[in-house]
Chain A
């Protein structure tokens, strides 16, 4: 018969065993471990879900302190050890969250709590503790944190801010991005709904207010484009979305939503809309169509207007470039081909004017603007562009050109006639008068001194008038061009002008063919006069170079200065008739004018006239 004491001991042992089992079961179920560390021996006994925590396939394990340390994550070792030491020295409970490295190398987070027990003399005897695996919680926390960051980043990137409003207290909460959109210091509280009118233009506020009232009343969400007034006064377009929040009873307790900065999108939409409208208008008014050509398939797709412009009866908007080329005027085909070939990745656009023969045989002029796209190797892939019917413009240009030709011809003919009249008739009559005067004087025997003086006076006056008439005639129409040729005429004009204006004009020439058609020499002479007069008037320098060069098939006149320069395009539009008249004159002899001028970098005017094609130009009546 056991004694009562024995029985009590057995019972206690049984209870203890039960409690121990329960503890183990609890620990394993909760992914937890317990430890009992004998500080004096260093023996550390671990039990519980050692598999999960350390990857050790047993329920109890006996380690030395060093083994435990080894299983701690290197980055956490010092921190944990310090916490343990503090607790031991301070007689306080110890709590820490740290990582352990399992046998298989994976890392687990644990939260541990322990307590030291001391002997009577205060020396630490043992430490008991429990550690729980919190890896999953940590991962959730991490993910949540990450999500918060992501959300903020997404809001920042999208320009979307979020908000919440409690109508009861009129408390508003804004996200960081919303502060940024509004331009409000994030350290300040968000603007109350009561003060929202200051955030929007009156019209936008009115719409927002009504939408919010509606939402509170009916629970309907809203989405509005609003014009916001930032705190710095700038206006921007935002899209505001809002929806109600309800409690469990379904009562509306608040609103939440987002606010997105859509200024750029709105500006883009606006521009796109305008450009689309313009395109449609232009296509209708300017008679044009769009096209797209894919090089690999040679397929050309065109917009609807093409049939009307090209006069085609078929409604087919798809063709091939090869097919399309057959409708191009034979003389212009090379031009069209070259224009496409000329496109490079650096200069992907081109513009070419050519004639199209319509199915009914009529010819129209079109201007094609294209932009090519290239692959990485620089091979052309496709081309898109517009084709404009410029027939009317061409006709107008031709009419204008013929008109200006007639004008110039008429002007030159009239100048020549008046010059001839002045020179051959009036000046010659004056000359004959002088001769007659001289004859009278010679015939008079012993003339009176006073009479001699008077006749000398008259003679001088007539000579003076004669000189003026001659100079006027010369200015109107230089007979030098006719009698002495272009080179001499230009040279003496340069000499006369440099003497008269006190400037240096350097004239150089070479290889000028003997026989140059008079309409060409007159044209170049007039260009020289105009160019030099312009240069003297506007360049602010006193030295000019004139060069007349002959090539096998053309004559090129260059007038150069190193003066202030100008913008040729502007000058063509605004600066009197000088440049335009030069260009018009050159056009009449199939020549071309090019102007090379930069601000403060001088000006060069080149006039080039082909000699072979000159035969087609009409001959001016220039006899003097």
Chain B
């Protein structure tokens, strides 16, 4: 299912490990990163300086570049800008100690496809590199995805543990979108919806007023699902109607070209949980197609336990249909 062999423009061929250029001013870190990546990736170079990295990137033509943020001289952000300016087409993934959202947002605005925190590198860095090679964004938090509005349309898969960490992240992301002036829609269970409203209020949002202005709307998952499914099959017309209604609401509430309809939903989850994998996938594919040309940020929320640890293939299928992958900070993604 991995499409990297055919889509990566870096001259990658099937059977060869992707070429990675590492940039970090700390040699011990470079050593650890090498040990983490080497089974899957080929390290073409490991450099401790941004300026040297730019020259090396142009010379070594890596498939992907891993960049530290804090470096003496040219820092990671400056290095990424310089790479872009000098015509490097290799996607960049940041590997850093900085866990503040603003850093990740800045990285994405500079065109990076991944943002990985160093303590999580063993699980996250290989994933991030693979997603990046597929031109998919990988970031450590749903809030970052919401904040990185510069990417415009986004169809993100968000894996969580169905706990308070998840709800906390969800509420901060929704608040962020509302503060930006974007309309927000939520598809979730009664428990999730009422919890979310409580948390939004605690974050200083006036949910009643947002609802009255049509900027916040919530749907029940079961209701929504029953509307778009007909005899266990996806009714494309009805799903299209649902998407169109959302689009119309966006245009009515925030008609500017900068606004995004931001939707947090778990409509496919009941299908996964009842083993209707193909139906779930068809909902995702259809959604992806329906929103492809619209200013939609769709965050598909999946409890990570939908995917057995051994069942990496199903997880990969879900990721493949999204443009971005993210997860709650307290979970490990399947390999």
Partner-B contacts on A (CB < 8 A): 423-424, 427-432, 434-436, 438-439, 442, 463, 466, 470, 479-480, 482-484, 488, 491-492, 504, 623-624
How many angstroms between the C-alpha atoms of A479 and B98 in the bound complex?
Answer: 9
How many angstroms between the C-alpha atoms of A431 and B35 in the bound complex?
Answer: 14
Residues of A close to B99: CB separation below 8 A: 470
Task: Please list the 8 inter-chain residue pairs (A to B) with the smallest Cβ-Cβ separation, ordered nearest first.
Answer: A438-B122, A431-B118, A431-B119, A434-B119, A432-B32, A435-B122, A488-B102, A492-B102
Contacts A428-B29, A428-B118, A432-B29 hold; do A439 and B70 have CB atoms under 8 A apart?
Answer: no
Closest to A498 in B: B204
Q: Tell me which of B26, B70, B118, B123 contacts A479 (CB under 8 A).
A: B70
Q: Can you report 30 A-B residue pairs in the complex whose CB atoms are below 8 A from each other? A: A424-B25, A428-B26, A428-B28, A431-B97, A431-B121, A432-B28, A432-B32, A432-B118, A435-B32, A435-B36, A435-B119, A435-B121, A435-B122, A438-B122, A438-B123, A466-B119, A470-B97, A470-B99, A479-B98, A480-B102, A483-B69, A483-B75, A483-B77, A484-B103, A488-B102, A491-B102, A492-B100, A492-B102, A623-B73, A624-B70
Residues of A close to B199: CB separation below 8 A: none
How many angstroms between the C-alpha atoms of A69 and B58 in the bound complex?
Answer: 138
Residues of A close to B102: CB separation below 8 A: 480, 484, 488, 491-492
Partner-A contacts on B (CB < 8 A): 25-26, 28-29, 32, 35-36, 69-70, 72-73, 75, 77, 97-100, 102-103, 106, 117-119, 121-123, 204
Residues of A close to B70: CB separation below 8 A: 423-424, 479, 483, 624
Residues of B close to A480: CB separation below 8 A: 100, 102-103
Q: Tell me which of A428, A463, A482, A491 contacts B97 (CB under 8 A).
A: A428
Residues of A close to B35: CB separation below 8 A: 439
Taking the closest CB of chain A, its distance from the CB of B325, in whole angstroms, is 20
Taking the closest CB of chain B, its distance from the CB of A465, in whole angstroms, is 11
Taking the closest CB of chain A, its distance from the CB of B7, in whole angstroms, is 29
Contacts A428-B97, A439-B35 hold; do A483 and B103 have CB atoms under 8 A apart?
Answer: yes
Residues of A close to B73: CB separation below 8 A: 623
Q: Are A439 and B122 in contact (CB under 8 A)?
A: yes
Q: Are B28 and A623 in contact (CB under 8 A)?
A: no
Closest to A434 in B: B119
Contact residues of A: prevailing secondary structure: helix
Residues of A close to B32: CB separation below 8 A: 432, 435-436
Taking the closest CB of chain A, its distance from the CB of B27, in whole angstroms, is 11
Total of A-B residue pairs, C-beta within 8 Å: 66
Residues of A close to B106: CB separation below 8 A: 483-484, 488
Residues of B close to A463: CB separation below 8 A: 119
Q: Are A504 and B26 in contact (CB under 8 A)?
A: no
Residues of B close to A504: CB separation below 8 A: 204
Closest to B125 in A: A435
Apart from A429-B28, A431-B97, A435-B122, 20 more pairs, CB < 8 Å? A424-B25, A424-B26, A427-B97, A428-B118, A430-B119, A432-B28, A432-B32, A432-B118, A435-B32, A435-B118, A438-B122, A439-B35, A480-B103, A482-B75, A483-B98, A484-B102, A484-B103, A488-B102, A488-B106, A504-B204
Residues of B close to A434: CB separation below 8 A: 119
Taking the closest CB of chain A, its distance from the CB of B319, in whole angstroms, is 21
Residues of B close to A428: CB separation below 8 A: 26, 28-29, 97, 118
How many angstroms between the C-alpha atoms of A436 and B33 in the bound complex?
Answer: 10
Query: Could you say which of B32, B72, B119 has the most chain A C-beta atoms within 10 Å of its C-beta?
Result: B119
Residues of A close to B26: CB separation below 8 A: 424, 428
Residues of B close to A624: CB separation below 8 A: 70
Residues of A close to B117: CB separation below 8 A: 431
Closest to B26 in A: A428
How many angstroms between the C-alpha atoms of A286 and B322 in the bound complex?
Answer: 79
How many angstroms between the C-alpha atoms of A257 and B28 in the bound complex?
Answer: 108
Closest to B122 in A: A438
How many angstroms between the C-alpha atoms of A623 and B103 in the bound complex?
Answer: 17
Residues of A close to B98: CB separation below 8 A: 479, 483
Residues of A close to B75: CB separation below 8 A: 482-483
How many angstroms between the C-alpha atoms of A207 and B70 in the bound complex?
Answer: 91
Q: Tell me which of A429, A439, A482, A488 contacts B36 (CB under 8 A).
A: A439
Closest to A485 in B: B106
Closest to B121 in A: A435
Residues of B close to A482: CB separation below 8 A: 75
Closest to B335 in A: A442
Query: Could you say which of A432, A442, A463, A491 has the most chain B C-beta atoms within 10 Å of its C-beta?
Result: A432
How many angstroms between the C-alpha atoms of A423 and B119 in the bound complex?
Answer: 13
Residues of A close to B118: CB separation below 8 A: 428, 431-432, 435
